[in-house]
Amino acid sequence: MKSNLFKILTVFFAAGLLVLSGCKKPDPDAQSAEDDARGGYYMSDAFAVGNNQAGGGGGKADLPGCVEVYKNDVDTVILTFVDNCEYRGAVRSGSIIIKYTRLADIGVRAAEIVITFDNYTIKDIGVEGTITTTFGGTYIKPAINVVATDMVATFSDGRTISWSSDKTFTILEGFGDGDISTNVIEISGTATGINRKGVSYTARYAAVTVDRSCEYGYPVSGTVTIVSENGTSVIDYGEGACDNIITVTNGKISVEVKL
């Protein structure tokens, strides 16, 4: 049970990426959709790398030799990637810094995790900013609030994605059974950013539901609305069916897309 919330949160981040990954073709602002999804990926990856170290978990044995681990035994872990370290399918450099607050009385290693970066790159893309995750909700229906502030991804050509987001991930079903593949997760919240073309956008997630038992892995219901100077697109994931079909509406035009 101790590590269950940490495994689930990694899935949450990945689910946020799936929400936008199939929307590029019919979206008049495909760049914003893609870049919002990329931001979700960088956040997901950083948490997946660091989550098992927070609150005293994990250890050097869990990491390759090119990762240096510093722990102060109170509230901080620093993972430093040296010599162009290849880990989890990506070459990395610099450091991921994890600060955590423990609440032993609720049975988890850390109730709040704050992730920052020091000269960090993944696949030659620089990542900076702050990611704060806070566990809340109830024992029956746990929720995790994920706030990203002042996030920037810098590409080798000098272009950047900048964004901030505030999302809540609620476990509707399956928590506590030891099998995260049975979780039903609802995602709500907002993201704002500037894509690589310098266009500002917002993305609003409304009751986007991911059923981990569905074979396709895409959300099964809910909507994501992307707004920029190029227009408004609404991605509708349906009414709960486990499929790979979405509807994208731009103004008076609706298109059904197979992901």
Q: How many residues does the chain have?
A: 259
User: Is 141 part of a structural domain of the chain?
Assistant: yes
pLDDT for 1 equals: 40
User: Is 99 part of a structural domain of the chain?
Assistant: yes
pLDDT for 148 equals: 94
Tokens of 59: 């250890």
CB neighbourhood size of 65 (10 A): 9
Beta bridge partners of 85: 92
pLDDT for 158 equals: 96
Q: Go through 127-151 and write b for each residue having 16 or more CB atoms within 10 A of its CB, e for each that does not.
A: bbbebbbebeeeeeebbbbbbbeeb
pLDDT for 2 equals: 41
Q: Which helix (H) or strand (E) holds 246?
A: strand 245-250
User: Is 146 part of a structural domain of the chain?
Assistant: yes
pLDDT for 211 equals: 87
Calpha distance 33→56 (Å, rounded): 37
Residues of the chain with pLDDT under 50: 1-3, 21, 108-109
pLDDT for 23 equals: 54
Q: How far is CA 142 from the centre of its chain?
A: 17
User: Is 191 part of a structural domain of the chain?
Assistant: yes
User: Is 232 part of a structural domain of the chain?
Assistant: no
pLDDT for 123 equals: 93
Domain count, the chain: 1
User: Is 182 part of a structural domain of the chain?
Assistant: yes
pLDDT for 58 equals: 58
Long-range contacts of 104-111 (CB under 8 A, 24+ apart): 106/135, 107/1, 107/2, 108/2, 108/5, 108/6, 108/55, 108/135, 109/2, 109/3, 109/6, 109/54, 109/55, 109/56, 109/57, 110/54, 110/55, 111/135
pLDDT for 7 equals: 55
Q: Do 5 and 135 touch, CB atoms closer than 8 A?
A: yes
pLDDT for 141 equals: 78
pLDDT tens column, 50-108? 766 665 555 565 788 999 999 887 789 999 999 899 998 899 999 999 998 865 555 54
User: Is 117 part of a structural domain of the chain?
Assistant: yes
User: Is 245 part of a structural domain of the chain?
Assistant: no
| DSSP conformation class of 10 | H
Domain coverage including residue 135 = 4-220
